[in-house]
Structure 1
Amino acid sequence: MRLLECVAEHRYGAPAKQLARETRLALPTAYHLLRTLVHEGYLRREKGLFFLGEAAERLSSSGAEQKRRSTVADALARWRDAIGAPVYYAMYRDGEIEIMCVSDAPGTPAVEEWADFRETGHAHAIGQCLLSQLDEGARRDHLARYPVSPVTPYTVRDAASLSRRLERTRRTAPVTERQEYALGVVCAAIPISVGTTAAAVALSLPARQADRLLPAAERLQTEMGLLLGSLAISISI
């Protein structure tokens, strides 16, 4: 690991003797370890100089992805505690609704996915929020694959009604639904643009706390505004 770290500090490569000296390894030991690292793909050797190899770069990429995920998870947990409700992060990728991260607690449990979130986007606030950010063609394609159908007695009844609702949705306004996906639960979702990708952060509450929904969504939007600058890169997990 010291050798890998040392090589990473030399953008233009370094010879074995220099690496041995800087890591305080005996030269024969350094040579042996360097050959092993080259064989395993963690280093590559060119004209007597050692550089990071593809395996090390994959490791670095994986570590960066884990760090981004950790950053987003920490933000969701902070918002969860500030609002007193479970918080969700979702994206629309490759034609699908994906729940990327959920932060809940024993006293504030997340909504149970009793019907596939991908197939019921018309029924929950996250899906409606994501669909509202799509262009007409992408939205039509999604609804052709996942037609509008009742999930509860309160679910929007048909594609035309859903389209009218989505068209009335303001770009930065929270999207709310009350018991459309799960009886006894109300939800709100706030749109986020991650480059050209539609994304959303959402919260859910028991229906008996429905009067808290809009104030909680506004609080979430405020909390997001305080942190989103630092999450501009991390949020795209």
Structure 2
Amino acid sequence: MSSSSSANTPSATRAANGGAGGVQSLERAFDLLERMADAGGEVGLSELSASSGLPLPTIHRLMRTLVSCGYVRQQPNRRYALGPRLIRLGESASRLLGTWARPYLAELVEATGETANMALLDGDEVVYVAQVPSRHSMRMFTEVGRRVLPHSTGVGKALLADVPADEVRALLARTGMPAATEKTITDPDAFVAELERIRAAGYAVDDSEQEIGVRCLAVTVPDSPTAAAISISGPAGRVTEAAQERIIPVLRDIARQLSVALARPA
């Protein structure tokens, strides 16, 4: 989302539609929080006024309330930053995200026969937030809550494909690129080139890069409130290139369905 438009956040859209019976000041407060997040977490009042179209006195009043609640803090330079109380809310919401995704992952398992996963990009790592296992006796297990480096996983590569190359290189410099298997990509230039191919194709493949004999196909969840990807994983003997042609459209369809579900008001 861009912070330059006054009607590009869910709360702004609701306000434009008359609030649907909601409390306008509450909708405006959440709209400002979303704009702050889009701007990198720290903004000035004039920037918020320009992007939201709200007058400065209104924004100042809302920000004072958010500061007093701990959801925003004022920096020494007089700019405003997202506050620490949002961390607890975000962590709880991330856990619930996996719960909401499970019915869609179950549908993915039903359609493909393979284990389905959902993962988020959390800082420099990928964290698995949901899984529905395959019914096959030979199947893949990834513990929910497990954290891995993104360069050797399908979900990680799918998520990083949407990140600018300079940011990807900075991440790789921080984490290193340890080889999980002999097929793991360990060269930054080769990895950036792989991400270009993923962007063009619209999906990522982990071909024994995290675990020998295991193939994983992954796509991002479009317009997710936080960067998220879903995947299927299974033995390379089942997740063949021929099976891939059948599975990728299913993955994309489930990702679109999940995107709609996450955007839908409760």
Q: Using a 3 Å threshold, how does the CA distance of structure 1 residues 155 and 149 change in structure 2: closer, same or farther?
A: same
One-letter amino acid of the structure 2 residue matched with residue 128 of structure 1: K
**Coordinate RMSD, CA, aligned:** 3.1
Q: Hey, what's the Cα distance between the residues in 2 that align with 1:195 and 1:84?
A: 25
The percent identity for this pair of structures is 22
Q: Which runs of 5+ in 2 are unaligned?
A: 1-22, 24-68, 70-88
Q: Rate the CA distance shift 1:136–1:82 in 2: closer, same or farther, 3 A.
A: same
Alignment of 1:71-150 (within 5 A): 71-107=100-136, 109-112=139-142, 117-119=147-149, 121-150=150-179
Give the 3 Å change call, closer, same or farther, for CA 177–106 of structure 1 in structure 2.
same
User: 2:207–2:214: 8 Å Cα contact kept in structure 1?
Assistant: yes
Q: By how many angstroms is 1:187 displaced?
A: 0.8
Question: What is the CA–CA distance in structure 2 between the aligned matches of 1:67 and 1:161, rounded to whole Å?
Answer: 35
Once structures 1 and 2 are overlaid, which stretch shifts more, 189-198 or 159-168?
A: 189-198
CA distance 1:227–1:155, change in 2 (3 Å): closer
CA distance in 2, matches of 1:196, 1:112: 23
SS of 2:237's equivalent in the other structure is helix
Contact 2:158–2:219 under 8 Å retained in 1 = yes
| Counterpart contact for 2:160–2:195, Cα < 8 Å | yes
**Aligned-partner Cα distance in 1 for 2:101–2:166:** 30
How big is the shift at 1:206? Answer: 0.7
CA distance in 2, matches of 1:74, 1:84: 15
Cα deviation per residue 1:73-107 (whole Å; 9 max; x = unaligned)? 12211221122111111111233311111111442
One-letter code aligned to 2:132: S
Aligned partner of 1:213 in structure 2 is 244
Contact persistence 2:202–2:219 (CA under 8 A) = yes
* TM-score of the aligned structures, taking structure 2 as reference length: 0.55
Letter in 2 for 1:109: R
Which residue is 2:215 aligned to? 186
Residue 68 to residue 125, structure 1, CA distance change in 2 (3 Å):
closer
Which range is displaced more, 192-201 or 213-222? Answer: 192-201
Question: Cα deviations across residues 152-192 of structure 1 (Å, max 9, x unaligned)?
Answer: 12222411111111123226711112111111111111022
Paired residues of 2:101 and 2:258 also in contact (CA < 8 A) = no
Relative contact order (alpha carbons < 8 A, sep ≥ 6): 1 or 2 greater?
1
Larger Rg: 1
Higher helix residue share: 2
SS at match of 1:127: helix
SS of 2:227's partner is: strand
